[in-house]
């Protein structure tokens, strides 16, 4: 996909063009954007699949037992429905609500390839996320948070705007069976990087994930201000995992193919490192990851890790 252009132009994610075999069901509108329900297939590591399927057979820990008004035991999670998995192919089927084409201000209603890169990373490196408290920034539809929620202790899923948060809530509800953390530990809440407020984020945090949030320099600045605020207030410093797509453009002024937003991102990374003084930055080789979602892994896709220097 080329770079995002003027704010009123429609934009369409590559994910919706070719890469996901979708069963589109039109389910209505959110803030004037048509919303569809599609099935996203993810190849799941065997141990995780076994764990998800086994939950109905094991006794829940005491803290997960709730008794309803009739005195019956209510589990915090229902067993995964057989229609949501294909055990022979080792596949889970997420039911995801999303838009297809939106204006720039509503891009969070679509699914972006960066989020599928993050799903690959989470499922290939589950130890980084197992029993952790994970914050997602700019979650959009929230697919990585749903997948991380299969192994995390607590999820805080954030974005800005009523319609995106509503979409995220719909996706949480339609995939609840997969999520391990109890309902009260899966928070979906507003966090606008241009507002000065991180106090509502539950602490302590272990890691932060952010997918495809590098596409506009002002938004990138606001994003890094928020990351700086969170990292400077948390001890130990949570590790940030960022997936992104370098959007290349030919510019007449430079007579070359460039990505100004990516260059700006690089300078923000350096600045964060200098200001904090206690973090290192490295690019993770995504070609080492198994391809668990159906998308085209182009050389423009990257994953960056910002972590505390031990």
Ligand X SMILES: C[S@@+](CC[C@H](N)C(=O)[O-])C[C@H]1O[C@@H](n2cnc3c(N)ncnc32)[C@H](O)[C@@H]1O
Residues that bind ligand X (CB under 6 A): 107-108, 111-112, 114-115, 138-141, 159-160, 164, 191-194, 211-213, 215, 219, 222
CA-nearest of 212, 242, 227, 214 to 273 is 227
Question: Which is closer to ligand X, CB of 9 or CB of 70?
Answer: 9
Residue 159 or 206 having the CB closest to ligand X: 159
15 secondary structure, DSSP code: I
Half-sphere exposure of residue 96, counting CA atoms within 13 Å on the CB side? Answer: 31
**Backbone phi, then psi, for 34, in 5-degree steps?**
-70, 135
Cα distance between residue 159 and residue 101, in whole Å: 19
Distance CA 250, CA 3 (A): 10
Smallest gap, in angstroms, from Cβ of residue 295 to ligand X?
11
Nearest C-alpha neighbor of 140 from the set 107, 101, 183: 107
176, HSE (Cβ side, Cα atoms, 13 Å): 14
Least distance CB 26 / ligand X (angstroms): 20
Q: Please, which residue, 164 or 237, has the CB nearer to ligand X?
A: 164
Closer of 131 and 194 to ligand X (Cβ): 194
At closest approach, how far in Å is the CB of 1 from ligand X?
10
CA–CA separation, 291 vs 196, rounded Å? Answer: 38
Q: List the helix and strand counts (H, then E) for the chain.
A: 7, 17
Q: Which is nearer to ligand X, 80 or 242 (CB)?
A: 242
Task: Give the burial class of 14: count Cβ atoms within 10 A of its Cβ; 0-12 exposed, 13-18 middle, 19 or more buried.
Answer: middle
CB-based contact 75:129 (threshold 8 Å)? no
**By beta-carbon distance, which residue lies closest to ligand X?**
108
Shortest distance (Å) from residue 111 CB to ligand X: 5
Q: For residues 137 and 208, is the Cβ–Cβ distance under 8 A?
A: yes
Least distance (Å) from ligand X to the CB of residue 210?
7
3-state secondary structure of 232: helix
């Amino acid at each position: 996909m080329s770079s995002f252009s003027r704010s009123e132009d429609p934009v369409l994610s590559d994910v919706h063009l070719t890469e996901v075999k979708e069963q589109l069901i039109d389910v209505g509108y959110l803030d004037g954007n048509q919303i569809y329900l599609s099935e996203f297939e993810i190849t799941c590591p065997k141990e995780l699949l076994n764990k998800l399927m086994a939950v109905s057979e094991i006794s829940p820990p005491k803290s997960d037992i709730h008794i309803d008004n009739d005195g019956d035991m209510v589990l915090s999670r229902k067993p995964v429905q057989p229609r949501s998995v294909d055990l022979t192919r080792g596949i889970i089927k997420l039911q995801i609500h999303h838009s297809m084409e939106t204006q720039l201000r509503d891009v969070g209603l679509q699914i972006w390839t960066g989020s599928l890169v993050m799903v690959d990373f989470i499922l290939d490196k589950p130890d980084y996320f197992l029993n952790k408290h994970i914050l997602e920034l700019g979650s959009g539809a929230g697919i990585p948070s749903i997948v991380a929620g299969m192994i995390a202790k607590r999820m805080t899923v954030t974005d800005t705007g009523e319609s995106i948060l509503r979409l995220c809530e719909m996706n949480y509800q339609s995939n609840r069976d997969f999520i391990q953390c109890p309902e009260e530990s899966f928070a979906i809440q507003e966090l606008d990087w241009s507002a000065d407020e991180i106090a509502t984020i539950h602490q302590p945090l272990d890691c932060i994930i952010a997918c495809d949030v590098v596409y506009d320099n002002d938004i990138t600045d606001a994003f890094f201000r928020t990351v700086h605020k969170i990292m400077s207030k948390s001890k130990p410093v949570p590790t940030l995992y960022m997936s992104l797509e370098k959007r290349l453009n030919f510019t007449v002024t430079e007579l070359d193919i460039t990505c100004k937003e990516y260059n700006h991102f690089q300078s923000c990374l350096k600045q964060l490192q200098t200001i904090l003084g206690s973090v290192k930055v490295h690019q993770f080789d995504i070609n080492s990851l198994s391809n668990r979602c159906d998308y085209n892994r182009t050389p423009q896709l990257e994953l960056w890790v910002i972590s505390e220097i031990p």
